[in-house]
Chains A and B, each alone.
Chain A
Amino acid sequence: MTTSASSMDGQEKLDQLKNILLKDEREELMRLKKELEEKEAKLNNKVAPLIEEHIEFLKKNFPEEFKSVVDKQIESKIRDSQEELIAVIYPAMGSMVKKYVGYQMALLRESIDERINKKGPIGWFKRKFLGVKESEWAMSEEGKPVIEGIYIIEKGSGLLISSASGIETMDEDLMAGMLTAIRSFAEDAFMKGEQKVDTIEYENLSIFIQSYPTFYIAASLSGKLTNRDKSELENELLDFVNQDLNRDVMADNESKELVIRKKITDRFLITPRLNGGKTIE
């Protein structure tokens, strides 16, 4: 106890001695600090407006002042990274161009079709005498969408009855299910009454849908469909249903999938030798 008390006394005395000896230095330090703060404030008052002014100037005149520098930088960056840029831009550009060309072709064919339909019933007569050029006629015929697959799907359940496709696709049962779900969703969300979804388009692909009493047929095509295409495909599908999907075929649960697949292939798809689709007749 005695040692501790005497140690505290010693500390207090040391602090008092420090206060006495360093008083002048502490006062000088405080004075200098105050002087420095005042000068800093004065400097800020003078410099801050200048900086603000310069920033405003740059905001207004950046293009003129730095255009050449930035242009050079961009040019050199593009030059140095051409391959990377192409890799990034090409797929998007290609897809956009393809979509645009497909859309314009469909519009062009639509307009030719309109002129042809207005002018009379016989194609040859129309072409020869009524002002539809051979080139226009050929273009109208040439740009037709290609059937890539036909799917016959049970209404409601979305179960695939049969299908055939000229190209490799994902699991066809799943496709039939999701197609039914998407169609149901669109009809529930956006349609009223008896309106039905008849076409789904994505970029340059079209899915044309025709409903019959117990099933619907979805035809997937590459290319845009014009009204004439839709009408022709509608007739073709109806003819197929009447001729090939008769009651006996549909009732045969054991072999209908295979039988119908063959009928679809024979009627709508080119022989396996050519491995692709055929255009709408």
Chain B
Amino acid sequence: MIKRKVILTGSFGVGKTSLFNRFVYSKFDEKYLTTIGVKVDKKSMTVEGKEVTLLLWDIAGEISQDKVPNSYFLESSAIIYVFDLTRPSTYANMEFDLNHLNEKVPGAIVKVVGNKRDLVSDEELQTIMQEVHQMPDIVTSAKTGDNVEQLFIDIAKSLIVDAI
């Protein structure tokens, strides 16, 4: 069995927690996010015949700010960086944020996720893709559930490869 810590991060209001809630049954109250700035959830799945357990750390607050304890990022195997397709301010600092994350957690698998796909048309999506620093690995909608499961399967597959 492969058990790994995965960080979920991104600007306020991009839908991180909604992505989580689509994927796992949350045991802890959302109040933990506002009190200690993190909430841990768990998802176990079988991918390519292997049992993979993801311990998902939903981290509140801006990555670039020093307010998030560094220890929250320690020993993470993967990072999900979420931005909101409808709000340019949430991907304006993507380059800085990704560099910052690479420094904090060197070697971790990073997945860039454009969320709220349901709120943009195909044409708008094309325009956004030209504006972002890095093309998202996957485009999701926490509202409709589109690609959410796939995102976590992709991460599990990457972790399996990483474990070999």
Contacts and interface: CB of A to CB of B under 8 A. Distances in A.
A21 to B, nearest CB: 74
Given A157-B74, A174-B42, A181 B36 contact: yes
Q: Which of B4, B37, B53, B55 has the most CB of A within 10 A?
A: B55
Query: Which of A155, A170, A184: most chain B CB closer than 10 A?
Result: A184
Contact of B38 (A156, A170, A171, A185): A185
A178 B55 CA distance: 10
B16 to A, nearest CB: 16
Contact of B3 (A155, A173, A178, A188): A173
B4 A178 contact: no
Interface in A74-88: none
A142 B155 CA distance: 52
Nearest to A170: B27
B79 to A, nearest CB: 13
Interface string B12-52: 00000000000000011000100011111110000000000
A109 to B, nearest CB: 32
Nearest to B69: A188
Contacts of B38: 181, 185
A112 interface: no
Contacts of B127: none
A185 B28 contact: no
B17 to A, nearest CB: 15
B11 interface: no
B3 A184 contact: no
Contacts of A156: 71, 74-75
A158 to B, nearest CB: 7
Interface in B56-115: 57, 69-72, 74-77
A181 B5 contact: no
A181 B57 contact: yes
A158 B4 contact: no
B71 A178 contact: no
Interface string A115-159: 000000000000000000000000000000000000000111111
B153 to A, nearest CB: 20
Given A159-B3, A171-B27, A185 B69 contact: yes
Interface in A181-205: 181-182, 184-185, 187-189
Given A170-B27, A178-B40, A184 B72 contact: yes
Given A173-B55, A184-B71, A184-B72, A159 B42 contact: no
B44 to A, nearest CB: 9
Given A158-B40, A174-B40, A188-B70, 13 more contacts: A156-B75, A157-B5, A157-B77, A158-B5, A171-B27, A174-B27, A174-B28, A181-B57, A181-B72, A184-B71, A185-B37, A185-B38, A187-B71
